[in-house]
Every structure is written in structure tokens, then in C-alpha cells.
Amino acid sequence: MNSYVPILFMLGLGFAFAALSVFTSLVVGPKRYNRAKLEAYECGIQPTPQAAGGGRVPIKYYLTAMLFIIFDIESVFLYPFAVAFNKLGLFALVEMVLFILTVFIAYAYVWRRGGLEWD
């Protein structure tokens, strides 16, 4: 038996439950049309038109996403080292430290250039 198949069972069950609940509430729930109700919520004032056109997003979020990709991949690269640690011996230790050191240089650079500042 393929051990990955039951994960799909879980996925299917979760999705079926979510879809069924949403569908049921669409059928059971009331529908009373009101134009104001369908407007974007902004504390009772006229909603700003800008968000709908995909208003501009601060660069900080892109920066965070980029840094996430770099450092998350780094931490994932550490997993094989860690799992095969007892088989690789001293080699694994030296490699791991060298790898972390290299990434740490990049990290120090990003910090120095203000990539980690939020404001």
C-alpha cells in the first residue's frame, strides 16, 4: 500500500466537509438584498475605491517573502544533514558548520543593509 494515499483521504474528507458546510449555509441561509450590505466594510464610511484595483502593496512584504524563500530553503537543506548525521560522521559536522556559516554571512549582509528593519 502506498503510504501517501491516506493523506489524500484526509485531504478529501477536509475538503468535502468544508464544501458541504458552505453549500448548506448557502441553501439554508436567508437572502435579503441590500446594496449597502454588499459594499466593502469600512466602519460605515464610503469605502475607498483603491483596494479593488489591487492597490499598491508596501515593498516590505515582497522583501519578507524573498528572505523567507532564502532562509526557509536553508533550513530545509539542513534536514538531510541532520537525518543522515550518524552515517556521515565528521564530514557531516564540518559540512553543516560551513553551510551555516555561509548562510550567516548572507544574513549579516541583509541585516547590515537594513533588510530586516520593518520601519
Partner 1 sequence: MSLALTAYGMVGGLPALAPTENPTADFSDTPLWLALVKAVGVFVYLLISTLLVIWFERRVIGRMQQRPGPNRNGPFGLLQTLADGMKAMLKEDITPAKAEKVIYTLAPMITATMAFVAFAIIPLGGTVWMFGHQTPLQVTDVPVAVLLVLAVASVGVYGIILAGWSSGSTYPLLGGLRSTAQVISYEIAMGLSLVAIFLYSGSMSTSAIVSAQSSLWYILPAFFSFAVYLITMVGETNRLPFDLAEGEGELTGGFHTEYSSMRFAMFFLGEYVNMFTVSALATTLFLGGWQAPPFISAINDNMFGGGWWGLLWFTAKLWLFMFIFVWLRGSLPRVRYDQFMRFGWKFLIPITLAWVVAVAFIRGAQLGFLGDSKLTFAGRELSVATVVIVSIVAVIALAAAWIWDDRRAQRAAAEDEAPPEEIDPFEDGYPVPPLPGQRLVEPRPRLAAEPVLSTASSSSAGGSGASTTLKEETHG
Interface positions, 13-72, toward partner 1 (CB under 8 A):
13-15, 17-19, 21-22, 24-26, 28-32, 37-43, 47-48, 50-52, 54-55, 57-58, 60-61, 64-65, 67-68, 71-72
The Cα–Cα gap between 46 and 39 comes to 9
Nearest approach, Cβ of 40 to partner 1 (angstroms)?
3
Question: Closest separation between CB of residue 73 and partner 1, Å?
Answer: 10
**Per rule CB under 8 A, is residue 5 in the interface with partner 1?**
yes
Asked whether the beta carbons of 83 and 101 are under 8 A apart, the reply is no
What part of residues 84-103 is at the interface with partner 1 (CB under 8 A)? 84-86, 89-90, 92-93, 96-97, 100, 103
| Shortest separation between residue 109's beta carbon and partner 1, angstroms | 13
**If binding means CB under 8 A, how many residues of this protein chain bind partner 1?**
72
One residue of 59, 104, 109, 114 binding partner 1 per CB under 8 A: 104
Burial class (CB in 10 A: 0-12, 13-18, 19+), 103: middle
Q: How far apart are CA 77 and CA 89, in angstroms?
A: 17
**Cβ contacts of residue 107 below 8 Å, gap of 6+?**
71
